[in-house]
A and B are shown apart, each in its own frame.
Chain A
Amino acid sequence: MSSTITKLNAPLTKAQAFDSQPSSEIQLTPTQTSNTVAQRLANFDTLTDALEYAANGVTGYNFYDARGNLRSVLPYNSLRQNARILAQRLYNFNLPRGSRVAIIADTSPEFVELFFACRYAGLVPFAMPIPVNLGSHAIYVQQLRGMLESGRASIALANTDYFPFLEEAVEGAKFVEWTGTPEKLYELPAHDVEFQANNPNETAYLQFTSGSTRTPRGVVITERALMCNLQGIVRYGLEVKPGDRSASWLPFYHDMGLVGLVLAPMVTQISVDYLATRDFAIRPLQWLRLISRNRCTIAFSQPFGLKLCTMRARESDLKELDLTSWRAAGIGAEMIRPEILRNFAERFASAGFNEKAFLPCYGLAESTLAVTFSKIGQGCKSIQIDHKTLIEKRMAARLQAAGRKHNEFVNCGRPIPGHTIKIVDDEGRQLSEMMVGSVLVQGDSVMTGYFNNPEETTKALKSGNWLDTGDIGFLFEGDLFITGRRTDVIIVNGRNIRAQDIEELAELQPEVRSREASAFGVNDSDGTTTIVLVIECRLTSVTERQSLITRLQQLVYMAFGVNCVVELVAPHTLPRTSSGKLSRFAAKQGYIQRTNLEHQLSFMESGDR
């Protein structure tokens, strides 16, 4: 096993020699770090304005394969040119401005080109995920179809690897007028039109946040919200400067990957080195090698990604790595457990990783991406909170005496300029510092709503345009600390899974009636989350019951790539609210009592949204 890993993690130079390219191919060189034009920090009106400026320089995007070889280079200059060429083809469809274009987003130059082509042509792109789970074919196609319908896409695009899935999904999708690959789009005649300038109030793109087959939600982000958030990220959060360079494995279909590591570098004209998410997941150290080799300064990850790196690193790897250039190791997208960061820092200290580079932050797609950043260059700060006071009074009291049971929470910092956070109780009343409650955010980065979904929009956007983030936390000296999530989102291995999406899957089974399934996550002491699905079941035959359990586990795995525990209970076991709605919070408490996991009873969540 260890020899396998050593071999796989062979230094890039060796890998290159081993996998040498035919001499007829031109050896690629990545775009430079230093640029030929003065840096502008996201002070643009729109994305296309920003690209027009970036195209004057020599920086851009670089794409690497699983072995660390550079496969394609896309300077911003070429991106601009190719996007404009594709945009001229998009005029063939005579679509009204603002029509949606769905694109399956693997980590490739084609995706970025299509994304910007849409903006040049006044269309609204949205990224759809690539399939990642074993046996997920049928469910993946349903998920795509859900997004196509919810986003009312007029055009759907995928490269040849994923085109067959897209074709299946388009069958029966009502609004799609044309489906194709980037190559097919290139073949269409060009329309020599003058591109109409985009307006900051127009929608820049939609961001989907859920793998639901029935109710996916597309967050509407305007050009103004995007640029406002990007300014907050690059000026306040990262203090981007000339000489910065990013490396990323984050998927382009996630907000952190798209906004943080595709758009933020472009609006500051810095170069980026990309590794596909799949390649990172299998060989995580390739990411660190890219940082080391190209002297990258900014790279983000979920805590889970850092954990993978720590797990896989061997002594021999550490000797080859030089992580001293890495000044901003942004950490976000899930609850940050300080020990994951400590383990990573310890493991990679000898490779020059400076723990002061840790940059915890907090954000969500509904606020474009970023909400708060801790202070750059200060590392991860946390505080210890008395456990008993937290549970009994929902109050964060600093630990007074050593030895008392406590919880440690990471400081996620302050809101980006122009944004405000408040903590409220279940009745919506604002709470004072140190009191634990729902985290609400207000500011120009907040979405205008979910596309074509007023019901979900009303749930998330409160009066005064306060966005209910769905997270629970407290403020201390103006800094935000997240203590948990509400029960409607379960995070497993860095993936956010909506409880409702799992329940929907269960209800597709003939044996399961609507509103008789409840899904939630339980954590064990080392922080691992297990998904539990409780079903009210009338079946009496052991074989039938077992068959249902197996089928449900399989479905959940196919859709979300995670295992789950299925518990069948008698009808009327699941607790309901007065309006007859299932309460996940109460269902979880019931499960914990039945299974004697009392220590799980936690302050981490409040009721259902």
Chain B
Amino acid sequence: MTDSNYDEIMRLLCDRLSALTDSELLITPDTNLISQLSIDSIKLLNLIMEIEDTFDVSIPINGLTDVQTVRQLADLVYKVKSTS
């Protein structure tokens, strides 16, 4: 997988997060999903469904325990995508 794929993942995440959270906040790789976006469990499930669908991957539940920022989520998706 090339870096443009990573950028694509990042772009999609930022887009979807900004739609899901109706936030005025500009979403960057460093945005904290928990403290800044207060993403609740239903929104999180929606987001995971969309990621899985778009990138045809399965996000492992044990990987989410180390995700707090948008970048960490993108890294996880990228890792899963590259090894699938």
Contact = CB atoms under 8 A, between A and B. Distances in A.
A66 interface: yes
A135 B62 contact: no
Interface stretch (A110-118, A390-398, A549-557, A584-592): A549-557
Contacts of A282: 45, 48-49, 52
Interface residues on A, range: 20 to 34
A553 B38 contact: yes
Interface residues on B, range: 20 to 34
Interface in B31-72: 32-35, 38-42, 44-45, 48-50, 52-54, 58, 60-62, 64-68
Given A161-B60, A278-B61, A282-B45, A134 B38 contact: no
Interface string B6-24: 0000000000000000000
A134 B35 contact: no
A465 interface: no
Given A135-B34, A135-B66, A137-B66, A130 B41 contact: no
A134 B58 contact: no
Given A135-B68, A136-B65, A283-B49, A557 B34 contact: yes
A131 interface: yes
Given A134-B39, A135-B67, A554 B34 contact: yes
B24 to A, nearest CB: 17
Contacts of A136: 64-65
A66 B58 contact: yes
A7 B40 contact: no
Given A282-B48, A554-B35, A131 B41 contact: no
Interface string A290-316: 000000000000000000100000000
SS class, residues of chain B in contact with chain A: helix
A558 B54 CA distance: 26
A310 to B, nearest CB: 13
A134 B44 contact: yes
A140 interface: yes
Interface of A: 4-5, 7-8, 66, 130-137, 140, 161-162, 165, 278, 281-283, 308, 493, 550, 553-554, 557-558, 561-563
Interface of B: 32-35, 38-42, 44-45, 48-50, 52-54, 58, 60-62, 64-68
Given A135-B64, A137-B66, 18 more contacts: A5-B49, A7-B53, A66-B58, A131-B62, A133-B64, A134-B39, A134-B44, A134-B67, A134-B68, A140-B65, A165-B65, A278-B61, A282-B48, A282-B49, A308-B42, A493-B41, A550-B35, A553-B35
7 contacts: A4-B54, A134-B34, A134-B64, A134-B67, A135-B67, A161-B60, A553-B34
Q: Which 6 pairs, one residue from A and one from B, show the smallest C-beta to C-beta distance? A: A137-B65, A135-B68, A131-B65, A557-B34, A554-B35, A550-B35
